[in-house]
Structure 1
């Protein structure tokens, strides 16, 4: 009787799956297929998939071939699968900074130890003399928060001194402890460019950054990469960007008759107004060399069938680049990037194959954007966002796959961007069907929402989520999470990011099925997905929707 009941259950399960083509397509996503892609892309043959290298081209060729076999159509502007974009590698040298104070003897700040700076407009030389300095608090203009640190002050031609992060003292302001884009260094530099500032220096403290000065110095002293700007002045008029240590900032404020800590505290008042550093002027000089690199995104689509909705898209993103070949460690110089991010690419390819199977019942279309240059600054996705192949207002949502759960099945899944979009709600609903729970980012203060490719899509208004692995492992023992974290941390961005003995792709299989079903819901939903009311990207979304209606 027991055998009969088990057999009967299997029959009912088969009938159930057969009657739901979406669930059947989801169940066809299997860990063995995921592993095949991961093994290929993370093999030594691909040489770490470094941006602008032979390994990148091999990756492009592999992805194009796989998408062709799936039956996905090319979706770049030129009718191919490839969107090319130019990059510049920038190396700064001979950086000097000095301050004159009311006729007294000028003092110099030491590069690397007290300040970091680099050209902001892709110039080969910076030579700033006797520039005025003005402290602008957080340097934020956020209408939806009723916050403006500038209060109409003209800062054109001046050097801005800016507090790092964003206000965190009130849970009803700027997400409370969660760091929004307003708290990111890139926002400060973009705002300075927008307002015509001559330069900008962010005050570093361990508390506001979440890391020590050594991270700033080591990160910004290396070669930096940028999208190559045109000759139309799009690089802007800001001469340089940079950072100051807390001690150097304290000295600067003291010379202006101000107390640094009092001024940092004053920035938390919405009534704050910019404070000129009276009696001070700054001199900044440096040189830079550049090398040009050609990089490539891979773009494909599966068209939907609804006459009114098929020109709207669900966007799937995953970066395929990694760190390439670096200094050997115990004889190994290839950064294979198995977890980061061959795993995410594998999940995207499997989802595309599933959607191709469902193409006759898809209302909207699926757009796969496999980007390069993520590891050097999210530049591939930035290029797509600035040169979109479809109108952002016609993209219902973005699911970004960057680092899958390769260590086994979990009862939960983490979503960076949890509770910010209607797409997050769909994922939570689908997770419940799997008997699982969805959790928000456990480290909101680290700003992970702004550190992967979905962020560039959010910047042009596209509702986006960034799923992350869960933490409640099934059948692994109570100490497995600590083991996972130690292994993952030790392998992250090293030559050791390879398939290892702890891998168990059952977790990636289940998660990919979850993301697939969430995407299917968005593809066939009656309406486009939305940002939650009051979200920092809602206004941009509304502008993009208005643009396509005109």
Structure 2
């Protein structure tokens, strides 16, 4: 009996020892069942596609608040609540009255059709845009990047002119703009922001499938429906009168009216010696009518307080967008709900599971953890942008951001992809824990698509917070030959479609492995002696330094 008692005691000590590592203890709370429970709920038809400012959003927000309360995660707002409401301005362009005309030497040369040839909208929140005989100026990429000694404007006065931009950014020189990687300079949003900054009358981005990374149908579908933006706090009349996309064919017509070759002009933009090119003899008329609606969407914010007296007012922030596309009208093959299982019920489930795992080990946390579920991501990262402009904690106090947007739902992999790989020290931490698990971390295989600027971590990066966006790996374990190519096709077919549902290709164990890796990494970051940093020379390093200084 004495031998049995000693053996039992020894076994108990071994079990206690095995459970003593809080990172392991928290990781074990992340299971396939715990992940699928949230995904099944949020992607069910009951939640009506989770569109912003809808009944589906109300149900989603209520669900998130209830889950945080049940876990014991504290409210993250100063008023003692979980909800950060933000105003939205809905804008719908009247397609029937929208028109754009290319004029050559005072005569009409080509009338362009809305949706088919161009997409345009008032960017100054006006009800009507009526532009006649406006001068047109091609500004190449329209980039001003002093760190690369690049200025496409060369001191040209562009005020009151319609600016025409080549999409993307230069990619021929690996020493400039990270070569084939797309920086923010290459995003269409940068072009429109630059037009506003320079005092332009309007802005047109030339669409080509290679420079955009998607076809014209994506442009037409995205800008053809009701658009949403954060309502301007100041005077929106300072913005250009309109922003626009133009098809490649219509762009060719525009340049030919000035005796220029579109292909030559696109090529000319590749040189840092490029100077703006007036489209001599060419003017444009633009007519738009728009109606507006006032709406509101909501972010949900929870927090777990850290315990170190010197570090508890520093944070790691976890983000996921809770919205999707709502209800299809008309239905597609009899299905009217954009369920958004991967995009982004999976990401929301990931953050809820991370919150639960960190709650399990909260006594061992030095820094605090913020869990931010943002709305209106599908409308242009609006919820995260609002939070970045109205942060619940100072960005200079935040060590890192891990953003969960779509997860590995197709099975375990030897690798994991990190958008933002090598840009900040978060990469080093994730690589360390991946190596311990016998896995590898890889950079984004499609850097030319600019994914770093297409999800909510970008809003965090813009205010200096070191941020990464994990994506699924492609080296599948125990799957049939060609599985990765099959999944690429499945993902492409289901993206922003009513078919984004839990399906026969799902294997949640891949998400379990990934999320346990991210949990162990974030646990380390929360307890590290120093905050995470951008690498020297990164485009967000300067704003990080400003935020750190401002937070002191």
Q: TM-score range by the shorter chain?
A: over 0.9
Is residue 321–residue 374 contact of structure 2 (8 Å, CA) maintained in 1?
yes
- Aligned residue for 2:238, secondary structure, equals coil
Any idea what the Cα deviations from partners look like across 1:344-378, whole Å, max 9, x if unmatched?
A: 11111111112122222212111111011112222
CA distance in 2, matches of 1:27, 1:105: 69
CA distance in 2, matches of 1:236, 1:449: 29
CA distance in 2, matches of 1:510, 1:489: 23
- Structure 1-normalised TM-score? 0.94
CA distance in 1, matches of 2:21, 2:140: 56
Please, which moves more after superposition, 185-194 or 15-24?
15-24
| Residue number in structure 2 paired with 1:508 | 511
- Aligned residue for 2:294, secondary structure, equals strand
Q: Residue 337 of structure 2: which of 322, 328, 334 is its match?
A: 334
- Aligned residue for 1:132, secondary structure, equals strand
1:302-321 equivalence runs, <5 A? 302-321=304-323
Q: Residue 163 of structure 2: which of 160, 164, 171 is its match?
A: 160
Please, which moves more after superposition, 476-485 or 460-469?
476-485
CA distance in 2, matches of 1:382, 1:543: 18
1:355-370 equivalence runs, <5 A? 355-370=358-373
When residues 329 and 99 of structure 1 are mapped into structure 2, their CA distance, relative to the original with a 3 A threshold, is: closer
1:523 and 2:540 equivalent?
Answer: no
Q: Residue 226 of structure 2: which of 223, 226, 234 is its match?
A: 223
| Alpha-carbon distance, 1:484 to partner | 2.6
| Residue number in structure 2 paired with 1:428 | 431
1:65 and 2:66 equivalent?
Answer: yes
- Aligned residue for 1:499, secondary structure, equals coil
- Aligned residue for 2:331, secondary structure, equals strand
Q: Residue 299 of structure 1: which of 297, 301, 307 is its match?
A: 301
CA distance in 1, matches of 2:364, 2:201: 55
| Alpha-carbon distance, 1:341 to partner | 1.3
Please, which moves more after superposition, 495-504 or 127-136?
495-504
1:39 and 2:40 equivalent?
Answer: yes
1:242 and 2:244 equivalent?
Answer: yes
Is residue 406–residue 508 contact of structure 1 (8 Å, CA) maintained in 2?
yes
CA distance in 2, matches of 1:325, 1:250: 37
Tell me how large the CA RMSD over aligned residues is.
2.1
Please, which moves more after superposition, 195-204 or 233-242?
233-242
1:541 and 2:544 equivalent?
Answer: yes
| Alpha-carbon distance, 1:17 to partner | 3.5
| Residue number in structure 1 paired with 2:23 | 22
CA distance in 2, matches of 1:319, 1:370: 5
When residues 154 and 309 of structure 1 are mapped into structure 2, their CA distance, relative to the original with a 3 A threshold, is: farther
CA distance in 1, matches of 2:492, 2:214: 16
Structure 1 runs not aligned, ≥5 long: 1-6
CA distance in 1, matches of 2:150, 2:327: 46
| Residue number in structure 1 paired with 2:389 | 386
CA distance in 2, matches of 1:259, 1:45: 53
CA distance in 2, matches of 1:97, 1:315: 45
Structure 2 runs not aligned, ≥5 long: 1-7
When residues 506 and 42 of structure 1 are mapped into structure 2, their CA distance, relative to the original with a 3 A threshold, is: same
- Structure 2-normalised TM-score? 0.93
When residues 478 and 540 of structure 1 are mapped into structure 2, their CA distance, relative to the original with a 3 A threshold, is: same
CA distance in 2, matches of 1:290, 1:297: 22
Is residue 229–residue 235 contact of structure 1 (8 Å, CA) maintained in 2?
no
| Residue number in structure 1 paired with 2:190 | 187
1:469 and 2:437 equivalent?
Answer: no
Any idea what the Cα deviations from partners look like across 1:323-342, whole Å, max 9, x if unmatched?
A: 22213344332222222211
Is residue 122–residue 128 contact of structure 2 (8 Å, CA) maintained in 1?
yes
CA distance in 2, matches of 1:435, 1:314: 26
CA distance in 2, matches of 1:488, 1:342: 15
CA distance in 2, matches of 1:477, 1:13: 40
- Aligned residue for 1:471, secondary structure, equals coil
- Aligned residue for 2:102, secondary structure, equals strand
